[in-house]
Chains A and B, each alone.
Chain A
Amino acid sequence: MPDTESLPRTAMKSIPIRTYLDRWHISVLLVAFLCAIPVLTVFSYIFQPAGEVWQHLTETVLSDYVLNSLQLIIGVSFGTLTMGITTAWITSVYKFPGRKLFQWLLLLPMALPAYIIAYTYTGMMDFSGPIQTNLREMFGWSYGEYWFPEIRSMWGATSMLSLVLYPYVYLLARAAFLDQSIVALEASRSLGASAWKSFFKVALPMARPAIITGLSLVLMETLADYGTVQYFGISTFTTGIFRTWFGLNDSGAAAQLSTVLLIFVLILISLERISRKQARFFHTSNREKRRANIQLSPGKAWIATLACLMPVLWGFIFPFMQLLQWAIETYEEMVDDEFFTLTWHSLSLAGSAAVLALIIALLLAYGQRLQNTRLIQFAVRIASMGYAIPATVIAIGIMLPLAWIDNVLDGWLREQFDVSSGLLLSGTLFALMFAYMVRFLAVSVGTVEAALGKIKHSMDDAARSLGLNPRQVLISIHMPLMRRSLLTAILLVFVDVLKELPATLILRPFNFNTLAVRAYELASDERLADASTAALSIVIAGIIPVILLSRSINKQKS
């Protein structure tokens, strides 16, 4: 038996609590500051005098950018709300063939990056594509004898973005519908309102805050999209930023354009914040046990099935089949040494970004748990705001300061030692990794925070009263308990990085390609079939988080 007197007793002065406090504060604040650099950089250009290029932009294309972006926002809102709310309502209230299956099938379109679905549809709806060919065979038409819609247009871009983004609305609306007490609806029916009226007057308004949150996520993605609009030749802010940066070579004007885009994003963020606050008041506190879903008549049930099938069919199955067909045709040519290099680049990049993001997220979330001061809460929020900021803007905001540091350093070295340091930071993997952290840190921070939040504080206290210091508590109590969530955080960031396009295009080192970049480049060169192997790899990886998501939803229900 141990003698209590022999247990180590450190003198009080040796562990002043203040050191801990400062260490956590400093590291969390440092991360937040680094994450804020891109936005701060971009905003600092507001105060720069407007250059010639900016003058030129405002006179010519700026109004196009604003109008096109607005048009996209309105169109995509309409598309995602229609598809998202309808499917969410049907799957949460009615009983129909395939309901259980659709609960997660409806999430699948999330696995398709918008730029991939865009070029897949272009191929499918091409003159020589399967749809037109079949139509011609069926009706005996020939070239020029019929009208066929042009996918590379505003409505095309709107449809593509809607098809892959509606799951955000679906997810949040469905959660809200399931959360509603069936009693509220029954009360409405008992007061004489029809089923339709009950939906519009009771269920929909109650779910409104959740739907707005989903919609704001959709619109953030819409504003951030580069691949789709570029491919379809629609001028928006993101394509404008690229053109100003690479074409006109004016970084200042690119940053100023980014500022305008950021203002759009800020409006969205505040919209989301407001609706989240409202959500508290809309929440039905007295939740009854949910009753079984309503049985539909056979005819109506099949309509329900059809309504749920459509988005899945167009948003995932058709494009996936097309990609698969192309890949089967071309993989022998495409899977060569270069492909393995691409895959290795993508996997190693995504893997290290995911692990790094997890480590930083653990630092932030655990720092917040230990020292829950307002300052740290604020810092963590700053560090995780990147999810709302278009990757193009982040890339510009990182490139500018890094290039400046490189220039200054290079100049100084030349002057002092007559050696050139070249590009140390910009144009290296460091810059790319930095951008990924800013953009995707929110994903891992959110996951780790949620998991940590589920562990009661008495666990920490118990472990510490039994002789463990905070670091040991994290390693031997929290990390084993959060095992699953940590893995989820890694996977989510991994897939996000794998899919990421615009920041990678801007920041990648010279001649450094990834699967996403290659797929995009091949597609841009109209080598659609050749792009399919890389695209398919990304899509298949993208299915992983969808499965994780549907699993965690199922768990919540049980």
Chain B
Amino acid sequence: MSNLLQLNSISVAYDDHSVVEDISFELKEGEISCLLGPSGCGKTTLLRTIAGFEKPDTGEIKIRNQKVSSADGALAPENRNIGMVFQDFALFPHLNIEDNICFGLSKKMSDSDQLNRCNELLKLIGLPGSNKKYPHQLSGGQQQRIALARALAPEPDILLLDEPFSSLDVELREQLAREVRVILKQQNTTAILVTHDQNEAFAMADNIGLIHQGKLVQWDTPYNLYHQPATRFVANFIGQGVFIPGKYIGENKIETDLGTISGKVPEQCKVGCKLDLLIRPDDIIHDDDSKLKLEISERLFRGADFLYTLKVNNEKTILCIASSHHNHQLNEKIGITLDVDHLVMFPQQTTDDTESIS
């Protein structure tokens, strides 16, 4: 299947201040992807550039192999057949739900066809019969779904979702993200979600593009992003984890304060070179019988489990998740074993080299 959306080295700058730098990626029909990154990383600007609200300074964007944006100009948003869901939903307060949903439908479409399409969508989002209500009569979650229906109504080539869940209650977010994914998959809609919340990204997306300081750092599946982070930044941003220092002693063995660990060492690493190993909480298994014992410096009871912070040495600590029944006290030493099935490591950081690739 051909690519529906193609970005070739897109850069966007405001007043000489670069916001998006040289980003390229492709999207297949029906694929749901997510642009993930901390606030201010340029992900929303990138989304708005795809929508046509911003013009790129370099590069080009193609939708269905037709050029829609380049440094020379941009096709106006209204002419590029995109759908967009906004952070604040942006439902038109002076129009009822039916008029909101039918707003983007072609004027050539007959009234009865429009009504059918509207009812079909209302059924899809689980709000049938709310045609004549006004936006202010609906709850936040309902408004969110109407916004989705409105964007889907004209059957856009691509649906763009700009932090669509962030104004909702935390409890609602993941549930809605899953529901929206089901709806989009049913319709075989190609979509890009922008969010700073990795749980949302994991719940919605087939592929995630992690953006940092305007650059696309890694484009991968959620699983790979967690287990094979391309850079230190990705490793830090996704999930929890701690870097502990180690020294390569040859034969794919690394000596650390937690003992000697085996793993595939980056090629440029010679014997004696220093490494940082990523240790995630799920890499540490609490085992009372283990000989490796560490002191608890903080404990956090989370109901189903405990999150212990353990001292490796005077500077470094690691996190360990233990079942709720293993109630240990502060300063107590508990046994752990390492379960590092694929070890993530980066050559040890020098001061000016913040983003060395593994």
Interface presence of A195 (CB below 8 A): no
Chain A, 252-269, CB within 8 A of any chain B CB: none
A468 contacts across to B, CB distance below 8 A: 78
Given A4-B81, A458-B86, A465-B84, residue A15 in contact with residue B75 (CB < 8 A):
yes
Residues of B within 8 A of A16 (CB): 72-73
A467 within 8 A of B: yes
The answer to whether the Cβ of A461 comes within 8 Å of any Cβ in the partner chain is yes
Q: Tell which of A5-13, A68-76, A310-318, A530-538 binds the partner.
A: A5-13
Would you call A61 an interface residue if the criterion is a C-beta within 8 Å of the partner chain's C-beta atoms?
A: no
Asked if B59 lies at the interface with its beta carbon under 8 angstroms from chain A, I say: no
Residue pair B84, A463 in contact (C-beta under 8 Å): no
Q: For A9, A462, A464, A477, which residue has the most chain B Cβ atoms within 10 angstroms?
A: A462
Q: Mark B83-96, 1 if CB is under 8 A from A, else 0.
A: 11011111111100
Instruction: List residues of A (480-500) whose CB comes within 8 Å of B's CBs.
Output: 480-481
Chain A interface size band reads: 20 to 34
- Minimum CB distance partner of B103 in chain A: A466
B 71-126 contacts with A by CB, 8 A? 72-84, 86-94, 103-106, 108-109, 113, 117
A4 to B82, CA, bound (A): 11
Given that A9-B81, A12-B68, A458-B86 are known contacts, is A469 also in contact with B106, CB under 8 Å in the complex? Answer: no
Do residues A13 and B73 form an inter-chain contact, with CB atoms below 8 A? Answer: yes
Tell whether A26 is near chain B: CB-to-CB under 8 Å: no
Q: A280 interface residue, CB < 8 Å from B?
A: no
Return the contact of B73 from the options A18, A465, A481 (Cβ within 8 A).
Answer: A18
Which residues on the B side are within 8 Å of A555 (C-beta)? Answer: none
Q: A9-B66, A17-B76, A465-B84 are in contact. Are A4 and B157 (CB under 8 A)?
A: yes
Residue B145 interfacial (CB < 8 Å)? no
Q: Is the CB of B83 within 8 A of A10?
A: no
Q: Report Cα–Cα, A477/B105, bound state, in Å.
A: 16
B145-162 CB mask vs A (1 if < 8 Å, else 0) is 000001100111100100
Given contacts A10-B75, A17-B76, A456-B90, contact A465 B151 (CB under 8 A): yes
- On whether the beta carbons of A2 and B67 are closer than 8 Å, the reply is no
A2 to B155: give the CA distance in the assembly, Å.
Answer: 8
> Are B155 and A1 in contact, with the CB atoms below 8 A?
yes
Q: With A and B bound together, what is the CA distance between A324 and B148 in angstroms?
A: 61
Q: Provide the bound-state CA to CA distance between A10 and B155, in Å.
A: 18
- B216 sits at the interface (CB 8 A): no
| A1-40 interface (Cβ within 8 A of B) | 1-2, 4, 7-10, 12-13, 15-18
B84 CB contact (under 8 Å) in A9, A12, A462: A462
CB neighbours of B78 from chain A (8 A): 464-469
A17 and B84 contact, CB distance less than 8 A: no
Partner among A458, A467, A481 whose Cβ is within 8 Å of the Cβ of B87 = A458
- Distance between Cα atoms of A419 and B75 in the complex (Å): 53
Does A459 lie at the interface of the complex (its beta carbon under 8 Å from any beta carbon of B)?
yes
Q: Does chain A have a CB within 8 A of B196? A: no
Contacts of B93 in A (CB 8 A): 481
Q: Which of A2, A8, A10, A17 contacts B55 (CB 8 A)?
A: A17
The verdict on B51 contacting chain A, using a C-beta distance below 8 Å, is yes
A371 to chain B, nearest CB (A): 13
* Docked-complex contact A2 and B154, CB < 8 angstroms: yes
Question: Which residue of chain A is the closest to B68 with respect to CB atoms?
Answer: A12
- Give Cα A81 to B34, complex, Å: 60
Per the bound structure, the CA–CA distance linking A103 and B120 in Å amounts to 53
Shortest Cβ distance from B155 into A: residue:
A4
Q: Tell me whether A465 and B82 are in contact (CB under 8 A).
A: yes
* Residue in chain B with minimal CB distance to A459: B90
8 Å CB contact of B103 from A17, A456, A463? A463
Contact across chains for B92 and A477 when beta carbons are under 8 A apart: yes
From B51, B79, B83, B109, give the contact of A2 (CB < 8 A).
Answer: B109
B79:A17 contact, CB within 8 angstroms: no
- Does any Cβ of A come within 8 Å of B53's Cβ? yes
Minimum Cβ distance to chain A for residue B50 (Å): 11
Residue pair A1, B113 in contact (C-beta under 8 Å): yes
Q: Nearest A residue to B73 by beta-carbon distance?
A: A16
Give Cα A468 to B76, complex, Å.
Answer: 10
Q: Which residue of A lies closest to B51 (CB)?
A: A465
- Nearest A-chain residue to B67, judged by Cβ: A12
Cβ–Cβ < 8 Å partners of A464 in chain B: 53, 76-78
Complex Cα distance, B151 from A17, in Å, reads 24
B residues adjacent to A (C-beta < 8 A): 48, 51, 53, 55, 66-68, 70, 72-84, 86-94, 103-106, 108-109, 113, 117, 150-151, 154-157, 160
Beyond A4-B157, A464-B77, 13 additional pairs, beta carbon < 8 A:
A2-B106, A2-B109, A4-B155, A12-B74, A15-B73, A16-B72, A461-B51, A461-B86, A462-B92, A465-B82, A466-B103, A466-B151, A477-B92
**Which residues of A are at the interface with B, using a C-beta cutoff of 8 A?**
1-2, 4, 7-10, 12-13, 15-18, 456, 458-459, 461-469, 477, 480-481
Chain A to chain B contacts (Cβ below 8 Å), 25 pairs: A1-B113, A2-B106, A4-B156, A10-B79, A12-B74, A15-B76, A16-B73, A17-B74, A18-B73, A458-B89, A458-B90, A461-B48, A461-B90, A462-B90, A464-B76, A464-B77, A465-B78, A465-B104, A465-B160, A466-B83, A467-B79, A468-B78, A480-B94, A481-B92, A481-B93
